[in-house]
A and B are shown apart, each in its own frame.
Chain A
Amino acid sequence: MVPLWWYIVLGVVLFVIGAAGVLLRRNILVVLMSLELLLNSVNINFIAFGHYYDDFRGQIFAIFVIAITAAEVAVALGILVALARNKSTLKVDEVTMMKG
């Protein structure tokens, strides 16, 4: 039987790696992918706690997280396509159109 804290530590490690991708990478596409990784590491925690405490709410919450993630990715990629059409750059530090 795997102890609960192994799963939590795996979630922590994946979360930190995803946060590093969000904060450090220059390409917007990779930033979005790292965001997916963040949400997924949270799902691991939800399901691990739900399993160990025999509570379905963990799995239900994970289902909602997955649904919202799908919506978020669709909108984000739509914005990205519009951005690439108008500005023709994918670098996060060059998108400063709202600076005024």
Chain B
Amino acid sequence: MDQGFFLLFAAASVVTALTLVLARNPVHSALALMACFLQVSAIFVLLEAPLLAVIQIFVYVGAIMVLFLFVIMMIDVREAVLQRFLPGSNLPVLVLLVLLAVEMLVLVLRSDRFSVAELVATRTGGEVRHLSTTLFADYLLPFEVASVILLAALVGAIVLARKEPE
């Protein structure tokens, strides 16, 4: 049952990711990315991380995709539709990608650390409560730093996108 759902969501996410990379129109890429994020959030649910699944949908599908679609609407994307890939020979890049994939797959499949099929440790109840306690007690400083980074990004985005004063 679990495995069937995992295979379904994984296949859908890989197909939508390929659509993202291969689509001609950036709007189609954005929609494929949104579908891929939905599949990934379903995989988070399979991993018993419901909070992360909800955050994934809120942040990626809700905020980031809307941002992308707004920018696509603001910018004329018609000229970019004509040529999808970088001009010239892409052979070295393809070789590099194949090497990367083979290397990672060999490392993962040949190691016995990744072959666990059952949970190594037993689960305790109260998932979200534990998670928030850990986040706000042990990881308070990184949390504050992340909020400052978000504030800086907010100010920076406004300053960058503003029209230059005459």
Please give the residue numbers on chain A whose beta carbons come within 8 Å of chain B beta carbons, in ascending order: 1-10, 12-21, 23-27, 29-30, 32-34, 36-37, 40, 43-44, 47-48, 50-57, 59-60, 62-64, 66-75, 77-82, 84-85, 90-93
Give the interface size class of chain B: 35 or more
Beta-carbon contact of A70 and B139 below 8 Å: no
From DSSP, what is the main secondary structure of chain A's interface residues?
helix
From DSSP, what is the main secondary structure of chain B's interface residues?
helix
8 more CB-based (< 8 A) A-B contacts, given A73-B67, A91-B83: A6-B10, A14-B40, A19-B97, A36-B64, A56-B134, A59-B131, A74-B154, A78-B157
Among A3, A8, A52, A71, contact of B153 (Cβ-Cβ < 8 Å): A71
Query: Which residues of chain B come closer than 8 Å to A34, judged between CB atoms?
Result: 20-21
Among A2, A36, A48, contact of B60 (Cβ-Cβ < 8 Å): A36
Beta-carbon contact of A30 and B87 below 8 Å: no
Beta-carbon contact of B114 and A8 below 8 Å: yes
Query: Which residues of chain B come closer than 8 Å to A82, judged between CB atoms?
Result: 160-161
Tell me the residues in window 117-148 of chain B with beta carbons closer than 8 Å to chain A beta carbons: 117-124, 130-131, 134-135, 139, 142, 146
